[in-house]
Amino acid sequence: MATGTRKAQRERTRENLLDAAMMCLVEYGYAGTTTQRVQERVGVSRGALLHHFGSKAELFVAAIHHIADKRLESIRDLAVEVDDQPDALRRVIQAIAHSQTGPPFQAAMELWTAARTDPELLEALRPAERKLGRAMRDIFYKAADFDDPETARITFESLVAMMRGLEMTRIMRRDETLADEVIDLWIEKMITPVQF
């Protein structure tokens, strides 16, 4: 029983370290996220952090997958709720939009920016982002049910690009409702003529 408790504690500590890394990325950016900040945020010793992650690079690789998994979980949870409902596509679009906001997405943006000039980080980032992209695309295609695969691909890619741009520019806007209005207009112009 003690072994099970210790294992659960180690898993909780690891999860807490990954959550702390994500929040440090949001608060301090990639350059300002240090292993010391992460361990202090969790309240663990340097040795405890090194037990789980032998280096900053190892921590970031694990954080990349952790962040992508959180975003994917969010999309899947919301998509399951809307399956086979009359407004399923609109609600899936809203779920995808939700996944492109908040701390997990903001941390991902920090990693994407850093990966632009860091080939090792880029290589670590690609598999997690591709997995997430495939899952989002599959959920969207299932709800959209387009006849033409090329139209489906372009529609999905334009949706994701627009949502990422909306979140990246959020800090510059004063109107908090603008993003929702833009998404509603996109649905009206891109989806309504095809689907509804």
Residue 162 has pLDDT above 80, yes or no: yes
Closest by CA to 18, choosing from 47, 45, 46, 58, is: 58
Cβ burial of 46 (10 Å; 0-12, 13-18, 19+) is exposed
CATH 3.40.50.300 assigned to domain 2-195? The reply is: no
The residue-averaged pLDDT of 25-47 equals: 95
Global pTM reads 0.81
The residue-averaged pLDDT of 160-164 equals: 90
Residue 84 has pLDDT above 80, yes or no: no
Residue 34 has pLDDT above 50, yes or no: yes
pLDDT at 42: 96
Question: Residues, the chain, total?
Answer: 196
Closest by CA to 65, choosing from 100, 22, 119, is: 22
Domain ranges of the chain: 2-195
Residue 81's CB is within 10 A of a number of other CB atoms, namely 12
CA distance 96 to 118: 28
Q: Provide the token pair at 51.
A: 């037990």
CA distance 41 to 151: 46
- Cα 115 from chain centroid? 15
pLDDT at 174: 83
Taken in order 133, 138, 141, 142, the sign of the CA dihedral is negative
Whether 68 contacts 128, CB under 8 Å: yes
